[in-house]
Structure 1
Amino acid sequence: MDDSTKRLLQRLIRRIPAQTLRTTLEKWGRLTAAQQRSMDFTQPKWALSEKLLAICEENGLTAKHITELEMTNVIDNPNQGMWYAFQLMDPEDDANSIELTQFKEQFKSHLRELVRPVSIKIKKHTDEAVWIRIAWGDSFSRPNHLKPTYVVHHLQTPYVFVTSLTSKQKPLLSQALVLSARYQAIKDANLSGRKLTAIRDLLMRKYQQVFPTMYPSPLGERNQVVSNPHIEKEQAEPAANRLQMACEAFGDGTLPQLQTVVYKLETKFRDHTNKTMTEREEPFSCVVKFASTNLLESLRHCASSGIASTPVTPLLSSILQKGRNYFVITDNGSGPSTQTRQPQT
């Protein structure tokens, strides 16, 4: 085992939570039952790392096997980095019939034509998602396994989720994905977050939606509380209407745990008391960011409780309707527009 592989294993053991290390190693399946029992998981991480390193050398394991362990851990714990969503555009006639074997062969072939050397590992998860691990190299260096890119793609859907991708690598990955998935183009979905399941559920609409109705009472009755009967009677209808409009804008039940939404303003400054700013030809620019552990739940509560006015402004309801959390607001359109971002390294 060379030094770079040893560093990869040591860093990986430090990252895997102590309470899940035993389970992760069992799923990896590269240790014998006796070797698994010989490990004392109550020891400090450095001691576990040294023990596992000795076992791996004894078993003759290589970087290929260590990346399998890393991939197992990332699939089980995906919320460790920033994920960016992309959408494939203009499908070809056979896009919906492509199978995993075809996709794997095509993706590896196309990406290796674009960049060498490169290490590619593809695995299908139990939820039907295809996970891709890419270690990038160039003409002067071997693939860097310490800084891999992870890609998640659900076959028969146009959605792709990527983490740890540089601007230099983006066009290479985009071309390989477009060709192997049988599409014509790919675009930034302007949706990102640290919880992969949240942005996936938001983009694929895997949450309980509520549609406009003239009879909002079923939603209203669910949240009624015992209070003064006269006050309750007077406030029942407005409260039910607020709840209905909040759920129409943000969905019902459990919502995707989106953590941020960003609005970039590029508008004219309007204030008749400040002629200096108002008469400027350049647009007024600023960024507004909302953050919460569960942003959609927070916004829904604000609207249903009366903290925020209803009906909900399109600036907020567009988060779910358009499936994104990055907007650019200009003077040219009636609603929030968007622009493409480069994923951060």
Structure 2
Amino acid sequence: MDTSNKRLIQRLMSRIPIKMLRTTLGKWGRLTEVQLKSMNLTQSKWALTEKLIAICEENELEVKHLTELEMIYIIDNPNQGMWHTFQLMDPEDDAQSVELTQFKEQFKSHIRELVRQVSVKMKKHTDEAVWIRIAWGDAFSRPNHLKPTYVVHHLQTPYVFVTSLTAKQKPLLSQALVLSTRHQAIKDANLSGRKLTAIRDLMMRQYQQVFPTKYPSPLTEHNPTVSNPHIGREQAEPAANRLQMACEAFGGGMLPQLQSAVYKLETKFRDQTNKTMTEREEPFKCVVKFASTNLLESLRNCASSGIASTPVTPLLSSIPLKGRNYFVITDNGPGPSSKTDQPQN
């Protein structure tokens, strides 16, 4: 086994927790039952790595087999890096008829026309998503399997989720995706996060949405017991309205665990007490970032509890409405008296 393959095994073993190792190797199916049992999980990670290298050498496993192991682990544990969302645009008439075998053949053919040295591996997941692992090379070097790009695409949808993609590789991947899916263009959807399932559910509307109703009903768990029934009746309707508007804006039930939203401000500075800043021709620029373990749930709770005003401002409700968490805020018109901004599309 050459040095590059050994480094790939070492990298894989450093990422896979010991408690998940036996299950992951079992799914891989490249080790015999005896070899699998010989992996003594009470040993150190270094000793286990050396043992796996020896087994792989004994079984004469190649890089294509090692990348299978990596894909199994990444698919089961996708929250390993920052995922970015792209949206395919302007489908051709036959775009909906593209099936898995055709997509695989077309994608590999197009990417290899663009890149002389490239390694592509595909796997269909149980949720019908196509996972693509791309190890990039160039005219002078072999594919680098230590820094692969991962792509997730649900066929017959316009959404593509990508992690570990450089600026140099982006146009190559974009062109291959556009051609193999029968579309005319692809754009950045301005949605990113470390939890793939969260941004997927948000983009594909796979969560409980709440629609306007004329007579909202308060949820009992959101209304603490009030000793005076008259006060309770008086407070119930505003609380119910706040809850309804919060759920209309962000959704009901369990929400996608989006972790951040970024607003880039490029607006005029408005403060009559500070003429130096207000009279500047250049826009005032700054970045505002909201962060939480579950941002949508936090915003919903703020609105339903009365901490934040309702109806919810479009600056926040645009996150689930547009499926985005990156916005550029600009003035609607020239001059310091222009109306306040809306998120740009």
- What does 1:323-338 align with in structure 2 at a 5 Å threshold? 323-332=323-332, 335-338=342-345
Letter in 1 for 2:160: V
Alignment check: 8 A CA contact 1:327 1:337 kept: yes
Determine the structure 2 residue equivalent to 1:271.
271
Q: Distance in 2 between matches of 1:294 and 1:116?
A: 42
SS at match of 1:234: helix
Residue 289 of structure 2 is aligned to residue 289 of structure 1: yes
Q: Distance in 2 between matches of 1:298 and 1:245?
A: 14
Q: What are the Cα deviations for residues 87-132 of structure 1, in whole angstroms up to 9, with x where unaligned?
A: 0001111111111000000000000000011000000000000000
Percent identity over the alignment?
81
Determine the structure 2 residue equivalent to 1:341.
none
Q: What are the Cα deviations for residues 209-264 of structure 1, in whole angstroms up to 9, with x where unaligned?
A: 011111111x4445333222233222100000000000000000000000000000
Determine the structure 2 residue equivalent to 1:343.
none
Question: How much does 1:2 deviate?
Answer: 0.7
Question: How much does 1:7 deviate?
Answer: 0.4
Q: Distance in 1 between matches of 2:48 and 2:29?
A: 17
Q: Distance in 1 between matches of 2:32 and 2:231?
A: 69
Question: How much does 1:26 deviate?
Answer: 0.4
Paired residue total:
337
Determine the structure 1 residue equivalent to 2:154.
154
SS at match of 2:297: helix
Letter in 2 for 1:267: T
- What does 1:1-345 align with in structure 2 at a 5 Å threshold? 1-217=1-217, 219-221=218-220, 223-228=222-227, 229-332=229-332, 335-338=342-345
Q: What are the Cα deviations for residues 287-330 of structure 1, in whole angstroms up to 9, with x where unaligned?
A: 00000000000000000000000000000000000000000000
- Higher mean Cα deviation, 94-103 or 150-159? 94-103
Alignment check: 8 A CA contact 1:262 1:326 kept: yes
SS at match of 1:150: strand
Q: What are the Cα deviations for residues 6-38 of structure 1, in whole angstroms up to 9, with x where unaligned?
A: 001011101001111110000001001111111
Alignment check: 8 A CA contact 2:223 2:239 kept: no
SS at match of 1:192: strand
SS at match of 2:237: helix
SS at match of 2:280: coil
Q: Distance in 2 between matches of 1:93 and 1:57?
A: 50
Q: Distance in 2 between matches of 1:241 and 1:25?
A: 52
Query: Where in structure 2 are there 5+ consecutive unaligned residues?
Result: 334-340
Query: Where in structure 1 are there 5+ consecutive unaligned residues?
Result: 339-345
Letter in 2 for 1:225: P
SS at match of 1:49: helix
Q: Distance in 1 between matches of 2:107 and 2:238?
A: 55
Alignment check: 8 A CA contact 1:239 1:305 kept: yes
Q: Distance in 2 between matches of 1:17 and 1:127?
A: 24
RMSD: 1.0
Letter in 1 for 2:343: P
SS at match of 1:312: coil
Q: Distance in 1 between matches of 2:296 and 2:17?
A: 29
Q: Distance in 1 between matches of 2:31 and 2:187?
A: 42
SS at match of 1:42: coil
Q: What are the Cα deviations for residues 35-57 of structure 1, in whole angstroms up to 9, with x where unaligned?
A: 11111112111110000100000
SS at match of 1:189: strand
Alignment check: 8 A CA contact 1:220 1:244 kept: no
Q: Distance in 2 between matches of 1:61 and 1:31?
A: 10
Q: What are the Cα deviations for residues 253-292 of structure 1, in whole angstroms up to 9, with x where unaligned?
A: 0000000000000000010000000000000000000000
Letter in 1 for 2:196: L
Alignment check: 8 A CA contact 1:149 1:162 kept: yes
Higher relative contact order (CA 8 A, sep 6+): 1
TM norm structure 2: 0.96
SS at match of 1:185: strand
Q: Distance in 1 between matches of 2:231 and 2:315?
A: 33
Letter in 2 for 1:336: P
SS at match of 1:264: strand
Letter in 1 for 2:240: A
SS at match of 1:177: helix
Letter in 1 for 2:88: L
Q: Distance in 1 between matches of 2:224 and 2:275?
A: 51
Q: What are the Cα deviations for residues 108-162 of structure 1, in whole angstroms up to 9, with x where unaligned?
A: 0000000011000000000000000000000111000000000000001000000
Letter in 2 for 1:86: F
Alignment check: 8 A CA contact 1:246 1:300 kept: yes
Question: How much does 1:189 deviate?
Answer: 0.2
SS at match of 1:205: coil
